[in-house]
Amino acid sequence: MTALPPARILAIETSCDETAAAVLENGRALLASTVASQMDIHARYGGVFPEVASRQHILSIVPVVEQTLSQAHLALGDINAIAVTRGPGLAGSLLVGLNLAKGLALGADLPLVGVNHLEGHLYSAWVYDSPPQGGNAGETPPPEPQFPLMALLVSGGHTELNLMEDYLKYKRLGATLDDAAGEAFDKVARLLQLGYPGGPAIQKAAEEGDPAAIHFPRAWLEGSWDFSFSGVKTAVLREIKRLEDEGKPIPVANMAASFQAAVVEVLLNKTLKAARQFGAKEILVAGGVSANKALRQAFQAQKEFPMHIPPLSLCTDNAAMVAAAGYFRFALGQTDGLEIDVLPTWPLS
Ligand code: KG4
Ligand code: ZN
């Protein structure tokens, strides 16, 4: 890390339903970050409505970037490169961010770095708060994650285990065969009529419930590093149907807690097993589902491996993580030309 050059990155993220910008120094120190969420707008549709998302990004992106620069007390002339999420995500939404990033790069004569959103999530673990006003002045930065690192990515669209061997070097071990963990939370929340987004709603309902009340199945998929969450979702549906047929009330809190426990147990055990088998020094968990309290407690309770899990504000979509990944790409000479296009489907490795 000390060998890498200092640089200030301005990053833009518009892959889904958050319009976000951030300024980050040297891949870790977060000077400013803005996230304009569209959640309330999409909640009425029960999920993200792509056309509405693009339109909202168009309305929000310029004010979001301006506010972020002003919070950092910086102008474009103080920035060394523009990073932007290029994919995966909604094509129309990605285009809004990429086009603004290209315009800024061209206008200010700055290098452009297209970032993979999944890589961004992983690099959220590098970021720490460092406001220009000195709110955290003098605070020692948290330890930097050490390679080889076993990285579990759990978001709304992806669940995968990667061995991070070095900066920007990934060995994909396995991924979900069906629903992503976040998708399972969202679908089960819908079954339990808890609303959207489902993850936080399940977590809240689960606080009043007993995680051992109902034994939902765990898909271990022995012999592979893949995951599957459609079975547990179907088991929840079957249990609801059974209770309804018998005219019994649905124990929502117990079902939420038991479902959450089943998902967390599989994620934790498989990650630990992979970390041992591949000789990882540490474990990293990132993505929207890493905001889950039960998951954080379970991973933090194990003492076998040092743990990196981003602060809550960096678990769900944000631009600080895009700036962090963008910094390492920039520092290692991996910049892009202005001709790059969005990549709505773009695997990490
Ligand atoms: O990373 P993210 O913000 O967006 C994607 O890149 O997909 O992840 C969103 C997902 C949603 O499925 C949401 O329900 C889930 O993360 N999520 C949670 C929690 N907060 C967000 N899942 C469980 N517990 C939470 N507290
Ligand atoms: Zn995300």
Cis status, amide bond into 50, omega within 30 of 0? no
DSSP symbol at 336? B
**Which pLDDT score is estimated for 40?**
84
Which residue, chain included where needed, has tokens 């479902």? 259
Ligand 1 neighbour 111 (Cβ under 6 A)? no
Q: Name the band, by pLDDT with cuts 50, 70 and 90, for residue 134.
A: low
Same domain for 18 and 51, yes or no, is yes
13 in contact with ligand 1, CB cutoff 6 A: no
Predicted confidence band at 135 (pLDDT cuts at 50, 70, 90)?
low
Q: How far is the CA of 109 from the centre of ligand 1 (A)?
A: 36
Task: Please indicate, yes or no, whether residues 173 and 296 belong to a single structural domain of this protein.
Answer: yes
**Residue 1 lies inside a defined structural domain of this protein:** no
Question: Residue 127 falls within a domain, yes or no?
Answer: yes
Q: Residue 26's domain spans which residues? A: 8-144+313-331
Q: Are residues 79 and 193 in the same domain?
A: no
Say if residue 168's pLDDT is above 90. yes
Q: How confident is the model at residue 140 (pLDDT cuts 50, 70, 90)?
A: confident
146 Cβ neighbours under 8 A, 6+ residues apart: 281, 282, 306
Shared-domain flag, residues 53 and 180: no
Decide: 203 in ligand 1 pocket, CB within 6 A.
yes
Q: Name the closest ligand to CA 182.
A: 1
Is the Cβ–Cβ distance between 269 and 221 less than 8 Å? no
The DSSP-derived string for 208-263 is: TS-TTSS-------TTSS-B--HHHHHHHHHHHHHHHHTTPPP-HHHHHHHHHHHH
- Band of pLDDT at residue 51, cut at 50, 70 and 90: confident
Atom of ligand 1 nearest to the CA of 186: 14
Residue 159 and residue 273 in one domain: yes
Q: What pLDDT shows up at residue 63?
A: 98
pLDDT over 90 (residue 38):
no
212-221 mean pLDDT: 98
User: Do both 270 and 289 map to the same domain?
Assistant: yes
Q: How far is 238 from 222, CA to CA, in rounded Å?
A: 25
Give the tokens for residue 81. Answer: 């490169």
- Calpha distance 49→122 (Å, rounded): 26
Q: Count the domains in the chain.
A: 2
Residue 343 lies in a domain: no
Index of the ligand 1 atom closest to the CA of residue 316: 3
| 8 Å CB contact between 17 and 155 | no
Bridge partners (DSSP) listed for residue 13:
20
Which residue lies with its CA nearest to atom 23 of ligand 1?
199
Say if residue 24 is in the same domain as residue 97.
yes
- Which ligand is the nearest neighbour of the Cα of 47? 1
Please tell me if the CB atom of residue 310 comes closer than 6 angstroms to any atom of ligand 1.
no
Q: What is the pLDDT of residues 322-331, one digit of tens each?
A: 999 999 999 9
Rounded distance, CA 101 to CA 92, Å?
A: 15
Q: Is the CB of 197 under 6 A from ligand 1?
A: yes
pLDDT of residue 138: 55
Q: Is 317 in the pocket of ligand 1 (CB under 6 A)?
A: yes
Distance from Cα 340 to the centre of ligand 1, integer Å: 28
Is 120 a domain residue? yes
Distance in Å, CA 152 to ligand 1 centroid: 14
Q: To the nearest whole number, what is the mean pLDDT of the chain?
A: 95
Mean pLDDT, range 252-260, rounded to an integer: 98
Q: For residues 173 and 129, state if they share a domain.
A: no
Asked, for residue 342, whether it belongs to a domain, the answer is: no
Q: Is the CB of 88 under 6 A from ligand 1?
A: no
The whole-number pLDDT of residue 137 equals 56
173 and 196 assigned to the same domain: yes
The answer to whether 229 and 289 are in contact (CB under 8 A) is: no
Residue 339 domain flag: no
Distance 240 CA to ligand 2 centre (A): 30
Decide if 341 is inside a domain.
Answer: no
pLDDT band at 136 (very low <50, low <70, confident <90, very high): low
Rounded to the nearest angstrom, the distance between the alpha carbon of 134 and the centre of ligand 1 is 31
Which atom in ligand 1 lies closest to the alpha carbon of residue 89?
A: 6
- Which of 289, 292, 293, 348 best tests ligand 1's pocket when mutated (most atoms within 8 Å of CB)? 289
- Compute the distance from residue 313 Cα to the ligand 2 centre, in Å: 12
Helix (H, G, I), strand (E, B) or coil at 129: strand
- Sheet containing strand 128-129, edge to edge, reads 112-116, 81-87, 8-13, 18-25, 29-37, 128-129
Number of the ligand 1 atom closest to the C-alpha atom of 158: 7
Q: Is residue 213 part of a domain?
A: yes
Is the pLDDT at 1 greater than 80? The verdict is no
pLDDT of residue 196: 85
pLDDT in tens, 184-200: 999 999 999 998 889 99
Pocket test for ligand 1, best of 48, 185, 290, 297 (most atoms within 8 A of CB): 185
Q: What is the DSSP letter of 288?
A: G
Q: What is the pLDDT of residues 294-324, one digit of tens each?
A: 999 999 999 999 999 999 999 999 999 999 9
Residues 69 and 177 in one domain: no
**Residues whose CB is less than 8 angstroms from the CB of residue 55 and which lie 6 or more positions away in sequence, other chains included:** none
Domain with residue 226: its CATH number is 3.30.420.40
Tell me the average pLDDT across 169-177: 97
Chain centre to alpha carbon of residue 32: 18
Claim to verify: residue 121 and residue 93 sit in the same structural domain: yes
Q: Are residues 129 and 241 in the same domain?
A: no
Stretch 58-84: mean pLDDT: 98
* Atom number in ligand 1 closest to CA 156: 7
Report which ligand 1 atom has the smallest distance to the Cα of 157. Answer: 7
Nearest-CA residue for atom 13 of ligand 1: 199
